[in-house]
Amino acid sequence: MSTVSTVTPRTRRGTELVLLIFAIAIVLVAYANVGIAIKNRLPADIVPMGVGFTVLVLAFHLVLRWRAPYADPVLLPIATLLNGLGLVMIHRLDLANGDTLGQGAAVRQLMWSALSIVVAAVLLIVIKDHRRLRRYTFTFALGGLVLLLLPLLPFIGRSVLGSRIWIGIGGFSFQPSEISKILVVIFFASYLVQTRDALSLVGRRILGFPLPRARDMGPIMIAWLASLAVLVFESDLGTSLLFFGIFVAMLYVATERRSWIAIGLILFLAGSYIAYLLFAHFQERVTLWINPFHPGMSDQIALGLMGMANGGLFGTGLGQGHPELTYFANSDFIIPSFGEELGLVGLTAIILLYVLLVERGLRAGLAARDGFGKLLATGLGFSIALQVFVVIGGVTRVIPLTGLTTPFMSAGGSSLLANWVIIALLLRVSDQARQPTIEQSGPTLGTDDTQVVKTR
Amino acid sequence: MNSPIRRLGAVVALMFCALLVAATIIQFVQANSLDNRPGNRRTLLASYSKQRGSILVGGNAVAISKPTSDDLKWRRTYPNGKLYADVTGYYSFTYGASAIEQAEGGLLSGSSDRLFYRRLVDVITGKPPQGASVELTLNAKVQQAAAEALGNQRGAVVALDPKTGAILAMVTSPTYDPNPLASHNLTSVSKSWTQLNNAPNNPLINRAINGNLYPPGSTFKLVTSAAALASGKYTPNTTVPGPARLKLPQTTVSLPTDDGQPCGPNDKTTLIHALAVSCNTAYASVGMNLGAAAVRNQAQKFGWGQDLKIPLAVTPSVFPANPNLPELAQSAIGQFDVRATPLQIAMVSAAIANNGKLMTPYLVQTVRDKNLDVIQSTDPKLMSTAVQPGVAQQLTTMMEAVVNSGTGSNARVPGMKVAGKTGTAQVGGNQIADDWFTGFAPADNPQVAVAVVVENGGNMKQGSSGNTVAAPIARKVMQAVTSK
C-alpha cells in the first residue's frame, strides 16, 4: 500500500475542528428545539450544558493534535454528533415521562458520556502504538471470556427481561459483554495474524471448494461454542450473533478464504435453528418478526412501527411526537424514536452517519501498514456495522428483534464507554496508517511481521 | 488482506441498504396504513390535540368538539343523541371511530392531504389548527319523521332525493347513543362498549346499509317488471298466467299466491294488475320466461353486486349466481337467495322516479374549512341508466296502481300521487315475515324515494304485511319531504 513519497500528508486536524463545531451546533440546536417544543422556552441550562459539552470534545480534539495528529478527522465529529443526539432524545423522553433533568436517565447518560470521552482520551495518550496491544494477546482473551461469562456468576449476575447479561454491584449495573467485545476483537486480530498462513494455505479441495484441515477448525468451533453458551446460558441472541459474526468476518479477512464464510453461515443457521427449537421467547420473536401485530403477544415492535409511520417523511419534529408510547424508547427503540420525530429524512441521515463511521473504520484497516492493525480496525469497524444492523434491523423488521444497544445513542453506560474505546482504537490505527513513513523507522522496525505480498 | 476488507465493505453496504429500504417501506410506503390501524394511539392523540370539525345537518351540529380541562383537550359530543348515531358514528379514544367520523376522519381531524395548504398557512400565521366541518345531505325534519314513525320496531328507513341521489334520511333501529363512547372516562367507555356489543339485536349495526342483508320479497318484483318491460316482450297490459298455484318445473313443489286465490279470471291477469295485487305466480312465470341472465342484468343496473361508498361502505346486494328454474322462479319474487340492503331498494324506486336514471347515493354535501371556505362539494353523479325513460314511465303507472287500487293503500296521501310497492318477505324458519314498502312521491314530479323495512312484523307481529306496517312509515316520510 505505502508508496514512498516525499510529500508530508496533511494532518486534517483543521477539518476535524470544523466538523466538530458543526456537530456541537446541531446537538445544541436539537437541545434548544426540545425545550421550546415541550416547555415553550429555551432550556435554562443550555449555556452550561453547551459549554461543558464543547469543552469536553474540544479537549479530546486537542489530545488528538498532541498524540495522534494524523488520525482520521471524521471519526470524532460523528461520534460526538451521535452521542449528543442520543443525549437529546433521552432527555426529551425524560421530559415526556415527567422526569426533570435531575431525576431522569439523561443526567446519568451525560456523566457516562463525559467519563467515556475521558477514558478514550487517556487511552490515546497511553497507547502510543496499537501494536503494543499484541503483547497481551492471551490476557485479553482471558479477560474477554471472563467478562462475557461474568453475568452467570451468582450474587453479581442480574437477569433483565430474561437476558442474563448484566452484573450489578451495589446500585451500579454494567453490561460486561460490551467491553468483552473489544477485548475479544483485539485477541482475534492478534491470534489470526499469527495463524493466518496455516489457516489459509493448508487444506484440501472438496468438490472444488477449498476446505481447511480438521484441526484448523478448532478456533472457529470454540468461537461457535462460546457463542452458543452465551445464547443458552445468558439467553442473549444479540450478543451471541454479534460475537460469532465478528469472528467469522475477521477469519475471512485474515485468510481470504470464502469457505470460512460458508462454514460460519452454516454453523450460524444451525445454531439459530437449535435456538428456535429450544426457546419459546425466540419463537415469539420470529412470530412477531413475521407479523408484528400478532394478537396476544408483545406490541413493542408494532408500537415502534406506528411511531415511525407517524413520523413519515419529515417527522413530527423533536418534542412533538409521542415516542414515549413505545417501551424502551430511550434504549433498544431509540431508532424508532428518532424515526418518529426526525422522519425518514432524519433517520436516513443517522444511518448514513453510521455508514460513514464504519467506512472510516474499514478505511483505517485498508490503510494500516501492519496485519494486526488491519484486522483490528476491520474487526472494530465491522462490529459497529453488525451491531447497528442487528438493532436497527430488529426494529425495522429486516431480521427478528434481538436486544442490542444502538452504538452511541442508546441509554446505557457500558455501551457508551465501549463505543468510545472503539473510537479511540480506530483513531490510533488510522493515525499510524496515515503518518509519514519516516516516523516509522524507529525501534519498532524489525519487530513487524514479515509482509505477505498479495497480488490481488 | 485488502481485497477481503473491500468485499466486507460491500457486505456492510448491502446491510445498510437493507436498513434504508426497510425504513423507507415503514415510513413512506406503509405509513398511511400503519397510521390508520385501529387502536393507533398516536393518530388518536394527534386528532385529539386539535379541534375536530363538526358534522352538520341543515346548519346545526349533530357532532361537535367541545373544549375540556383534561389532557385530551377536546371532547366529542352528539347533541341529538341517538337520532343521527348511525350516520355520524362514534368517536372513541379507545375504540376508534365509525361511520362519517371514520370515513371523513382525515378532513374532520384536519390531517387530510386536501388540507395541506391550509395547514401550512396555519403554521405560518400561528393559528391553532382545526379540522374541517362536514355538512350532510340529511334533512332534519325527514330524519325526525322517519325515526318517529319507525319507533322502537327493528328495521330501517332510507329516503333519497331521486334527482340527485342525496340521502335525505337514514334511520336504523335499534340504535345507540354515541355520547358515552366519546367520554374521556375510559372505564365508563369500556363499560358502554361491552354493553352495546352484548346488547340484543346489534344496535351498533347500521341496518340501512350493512347488517345481514334482507330478502327483499315482493319489492323485487319491480326489478322483474323492469326486466320484462325492457325485454320488449311485455307491456303493462300483456296477459300473464296468474293461477292460485304455479307448478314449478324439475320439482314436485308448487308456488302459491299470497291469498291462495288466482290473480284473475281463468287463471290469467295483466302485468299491471299482477304488480298491483303482488301476484307471486305471475312474476314467477315471467321470471322463468325472461331467464336468470335478464333478471340479474336488470338487478345489476339497479346497483346489485356493486361496492358503494356513500362514503360509508355499503354491503353489496346479492342476486344468486346460477339459479335453476324453480330457484329462478323464487328469485323473481325476491325470495330464494336474493338479498338487498334497504338503501338498494330505495335506489330501485329512485331510479324509476328519475326517468330510469340511477343517481349515486351520497351523504356528504359539502366540506368546509374553519373559515367556511368550501373544500369539497358533492355533485350529483349518474351511477347507471337502469331503464329507458319509456319503461320508467310504465313502471311508474304500475306502481301508482299498487297504491291506488292494490296492496299499497296505506301509502296514499290526499292530494298527491304516490307510486309504491309492498313486500312481505319470508325469512325462513318459523320467524314472522319482514315487512317492506318502497315508493316515491309525488309520482308526477318525484321529490323523494323511500324504502322501509320492518323486521318480523314489527309491533303487529303475526298477520302484519308491508301495507299495514311499512307503508304508513313510508307515507310519513314522503309527507315530511313534500309537506302534504
pLDDT one-digit tens code per residue, A172-200:
667 888 898 999 899 889 888 888 877 77
Residue B440 lies in a domain: yes
Residue B52 corresponds to which cell in the numbers above?
375536530
- Quote the pLDDT of residue B185: 83
pLDDT digits (tens, 9 = 90+) for B9-24: 999 999 999 999 999 9
pLDDT at residue A215 tops 80:
no
Cβ–Cβ gap A351/B26 under 8 Å: no
pLDDT tens for each residue of A372-397? 999 999 999 999 999 999 999 999 99
| CB pair distance less than 8 Å for A385 and B42 | no
Q: Could you tell me if residue B319 is inside a domain?
A: yes
- What phi, psi does A129 have (nearest 5°)? -145, 125
Shortest Cα distance from A53 to chain B (angstroms)?
A: 30
Please report whether residue B265 resides in a domain: yes
Lowest mean pLDDT among A254-268, B50-64, B319-333: A254-268
| CB-CB under 8 Å, A375 with B1 | yes
In a domain, residue A76? The reply is no
CA atoms of B435 and B425, how far apart (whole Å): 6
- Neighboring chain B residues of A389 at a CB cutoff of 8 Å: 15-16, 18-19
Determine, yes or no, domain membership for B72.
no
Task: Please check the confidence at residue A452 and state whether its pLDDT lies above 70.
Answer: no
User: Measured between CA atoms, how close is B308 to chain A, in angstroms?
Assistant: 29
The pLDDT of residue A171: 60
Which of B5, B23, B35 is opposite residue A366, by nearest beta carbon? Answer: B5
Residue B173 pLDDT more than 80?
A: yes
Cβ B267 vs Cβ B241: under 8 Å: yes
CATH of the domain at B396: 3.40.710.10
A253, A321, A344 member nearest B8 (Cβ): A253
Tell whether B67 is covered by a domain. Answer: no
Chain B residues with CB within 8 Å of chain A CB = 1-6, 8-9, 12-13, 15-16, 18-20, 22-24, 26-28, 30-32, 34-35, 37, 40-43, 45-46
Which residues constitute the domain of residue A363? 131-435
Q: What is the pLDDT of residue B303?
A: 93
Look at residue A453 in the predicted model and tell me its pLDDT.
Answer: 60
Look at residue B298 and tell me whether its pLDDT is greater than 80. Answer: yes
Number of domains into which chain A is organized:
1
Q: In the structure, what pLDDT confidence band is assigned to residue A3 with cuts at 50, 70 and 90?
A: low
Angle at B459 between CA B458 and CA B464, to 5 degrees: 65
Q: Quick check: A354 and B16 CB within 8 A?
A: yes
Please report where in the chains the cell 478505511 appears, as a residue: A363
Residue B31 included in any domain: no
User: Which of A239-244's residues contact partners 24+ apart within 8 Å by CB, and which partners?
Assistant: A239/A165, A239/A177, A239/A404, A240/A271, A241/A268, A241/A386, A241/A390, A241/A402, A242/A181, A242/A383, A242/A386, A242/A387, A242/A390, A242/A404, A243/A148, A243/A181, A243/A184, A244/A268, A244/A271
Cis peptide before B311 (omega within 30 of 0): yes
Residue B75 domain flag: no
Residues A279-324: pLDDT tens digits?
Answer: 888 888 899 999 998 887 888 889 999 999 999 899 888 988 888 8
State the count of interchain CB pairs (< 8 A) between A and B: 127
- pLDDT score recorded for residue A386: 95
Residue B303 belongs to what domain range?
217-363+381-482
Say yes or no to pLDDT of A439 above 60. Answer: no
Contact flag B23-A249 (C-beta cutoff 8 Å): no
Q: What is the pLDDT of residues A76-132, one digit of tens each?
A: 999 999 999 999 999 999 888 877 766 778 888 999 999 999 999 999 999 989 998
Across the interface, do B8 and A249 touch by the CB < 8 Å criterion? Answer: yes
Cβ neighbours of residue B338 under 8 Å, at least 6 residues apart? B215, B216, B220, B299, B318, B319, B320, B331
* Contact yes or no for B414/B390 (Cβ under 8 A): no
B118 compared with A298, residue with greater pLDDT:
A298
Q: What is the pLDDT of residue A354?
A: 97
Domain contains B372: no
Here the ipTM equals 0.90
Total domains present in chain B: 1
**Residues of B belonging to the active site:** 218
Residues of chain A contacting B46 with CB distance shorter than 8 Å? 310
